[in-house]
Chain A
Amino acid sequence: MPHRNDLILAQSLVSGDEAQFEIFFDEYFPKLYRFALTRLSSDEDAVKDIVQATLMNAIRGISTYRGDAAMFTWLCQICRNEINGHFRQLAKSVPVVPQDDDSIRPILESLEATNSPESLFENLQVKRLIQEVLDYLPSNYGNALEWKYIEGFTVSEIAERLQLSELATQSILARARGSFRDALNKISPQLVPGN
């Protein structure tokens, strides 16, 4: 079973485990919010409606989740359908189910037109794209990277937050860096310093 933990989470939700509902919501709501925000040009009202509809639909269909895709990937697909419906209502000109590449391509095209690496990061969409990469990583990877390199926490402080030993935390950080680098390379090698 490729995504066993996610499947167990889904089964716990079906059985009515409230603690698991809290975990599910706290884990995926912020990620979906950012996912929708990137694709809806910061239209807060639309983001609210779409993320709520996504989670409602996901919850109603949670018994059909089989763990074939990661839970976040599954949620993103539902969210993408909601976003398509939103655009269809607005303009009736958006393809029904864009693939990941379709939503990322305009951003990459805008990157190609940008000359200096510094100006890349002035582009809000690029920032959000990189933040989305963190969202796609396992939660403790994304959080550990953010705590260490943005918020400046020590390994010891991160270890305490993750309830792990310092050695295990260092290992998590190393794996997180590797996964982040690989994910970023897949999306756009241009964004990776040193390439």
Chain B
Amino acid sequence: MMKNESQIAELLQKVGARADPPTELTSEIKANVKLAWQDEVAMQALKTNSLKRSSLKRKIGMTLFAIAASLFIAVGMNMSDSPLNQAETIATVTKSVNQVEYKIESGEWQNIGQTLIAASYKIRTGSNSYTSLRLQNGMDVRVGEDTEIEIVNLDTIFLSTGTLYVDSNSTVSGSETDISIRTPFGQAVDIGTQFLVQVTPQQWRVQVRDGKVEMKDDNEVFLLESGYRLEISESDTVTKSPIESHDDSWQWIKNVSAPFQLEGATLDHYLEWISKESGKKIKYRSESAHEAASKTILHGSATNLASMDTLSNIISTTDFIIIESTQSSIVIDR
């Protein structure tokens, strides 16, 4: 053991003083970090205000409900379940395959059908069953098989088990809000992106097809870029690996593709949709081909619009040709 003060003095003198970072570098990084901090503070303030508004709305709603309930009792009427008020709707079901159910708080699980979804609704899917939701802000959310979620509000979905895909860049109404997917292990916050979150009892995983996602748990924050998958196990083992945009793990989302209105759509809009659904990049041989595609209007209707066969058939009715189609891209020319 080091016995006295002089030995520590001698050691520290040999080592020398800790070097401070260069002043210019310090100023530059401080300015950049400060901007990020100010953004974060603003974002937290927005979230807090949004929560306060939700809480106020809930309180008002509960008061109104209490008044309405006492009126019903007073006149001795039989109250039955009324359809969800349009104002309470925060999501609609766009497509469901096989066994998909919902429930309200502690109620019974019921077949989802075309139910309008409000805050705090829970949704679950069975084996080989899927559903897609369109949130009021335009976000496209797809629920994989054997999954259970709760739509907490427009900003937050709780994924307790299974797989969830989010396209926050949905072109339908151009959402600009972040969505946070909370899991028992941590949360994933999108930064303008298409991404997938999967939860099992042993781990949680996020994979990003486009844009970026912030993964947070109690200890760490990871910023995950497109083309990567990050898995964090129950024992905190972290594994990051590359993932292609057309990897098999994305393919289930096509089972519940949001409907695409072919009639009147431009070819480039349809191809952009195909790209989102398939993960394949659309490349135009020339700028003029891209420009022409943006002016080509499609007509008619077709089923299974996301399939490559349907794409070939539709292209054949135009002046365009597919000159190359690989696992990762489709090259278009005219």
* Partner-B contacts on A (CB < 8 A): 13-16, 21, 25, 29-30, 33-34, 48, 51-53, 55-64, 66, 68-69, 74, 77-78, 81, 85, 88, 96-97, 121, 127, 130-131, 134-135, 142, 145-146, 148-151, 177, 180-181, 184-185, 191-195
Does B216 contact A29, Cβ atoms closer than 8 Å?
Answer: no
Minimum-distance CB pairs A-B, first 3: A61-B221, A16-B41, A149-B9
The residues of A that contact B21 with a CB separation of less than 8 Å are 29-30, 33
Does B218 reach chain A (CB closer than 8 Å)?
yes
- In the complex with contacts A14-B41, A56-B36, A64-B216 CB distance below 8 A: yes
Bound Cα distance A134, B12 (Å): 10
* Partner-A contacts on B (CB < 8 A): 1-3, 5, 7-21, 25-26, 29-30, 32-34, 36-38, 40-41, 44-45, 214, 216-223, 237-240
The residues of B that contact A21 with a CB separation of less than 8 Å are 34, 37
B42 (CB) vs chain A CBs: closest residue: A16
Does B29 contact A52, Cβ atoms closer than 8 Å?
Answer: yes
Bound Cα distance A134, B17 (Å): 10
25 inter-chain pairs at a CB distance below 8 angstroms, sorted by A residue, are A15-B41, A16-B41, A29-B29, A29-B30, A30-B21, A51-B29, A52-B29, A59-B36, A59-B37, A60-B36, A61-B220, A63-B44, A64-B218, A68-B218, A68-B219, A78-B220, A81-B238, A88-B240, A121-B15, A130-B11, A131-B16, A135-B18, A146-B17, A150-B12, A191-B11
Bound Cα distance A128, B223 (Å): 29
The residues of B that contact A74 with a CB separation of less than 8 Å are 219-220
One of A25, A29, A150, A194 near B7 (C-beta < 8 A):
A194
The residues of B that contact A63 with a CB separation of less than 8 Å are 40, 44
- In the complex with contacts A14-B41, A48-B25, A96-B240, A77-B7 CB distance below 8 A: no
Residues of A contacting B: mostly: helix
Bound Cα distance A52, B240 (Å): 21
One of B1, B18, B32 near A134 (C-beta < 8 A):
B18
The residues of B that contact A68 with a CB separation of less than 8 Å are 218-219
One of B18, B25, B219, B239 near A146 (C-beta < 8 A):
B18
Measured CB to CB, the closest approach of chain A to B43, in angstroms, equals 9
A52 (CB) vs chain B CBs: closest residue: B29
B47 (CB) vs chain A CBs: closest residue: A63
The residues of B that contact A77 with a CB separation of less than 8 Å are 219-220
Bound Cα distance A166, B149 (Å): 61
